[in-house]
Amino acid sequence: MQTIQHDKKAQDGEPRWVLLRDIGQAEYGKRVSREKVEAALTAVLAT
């Protein structure tokens, strides 16, 4: 998470994400809580 905070897309130390809502429907620059990001990464890495 520390590396993500320094990503070029981060604003004020907060990462911004691209969320895919549907095929061809992306939402750019979305804020996602640290807890949700960590939970998602934990779930993905556990598989």
What was the pLDDT predicted at 12?
80
Longest dimension (CA), the chain: 32
For 29-41, the pLDDT digits (tens) are 888 988 998 999 9
Note the pTM of the prediction, 2 decimals: 0.62
Please, how many CA atoms are within 13 Å of residue 44, restricted to the half-sphere of its CB?
A: 6
What was the pLDDT predicted at 39?
95
User: What is the number of H-type helices and E-type strands within the chain?
Assistant: 2, 2
Q: Is the pLDDT of residue 19 over 80?
A: yes
What was the pLDDT predicted at 20?
93
Name the residue with tokens 């809502």: 21
Cβ-based neighbour number of residue 26 at 10 Å: 11
For 1-13, the pLDDT digits (tens) are 677 776 777 788 7
- d(Cα 44, Cα 38) in Å, to the nearest integer? 10
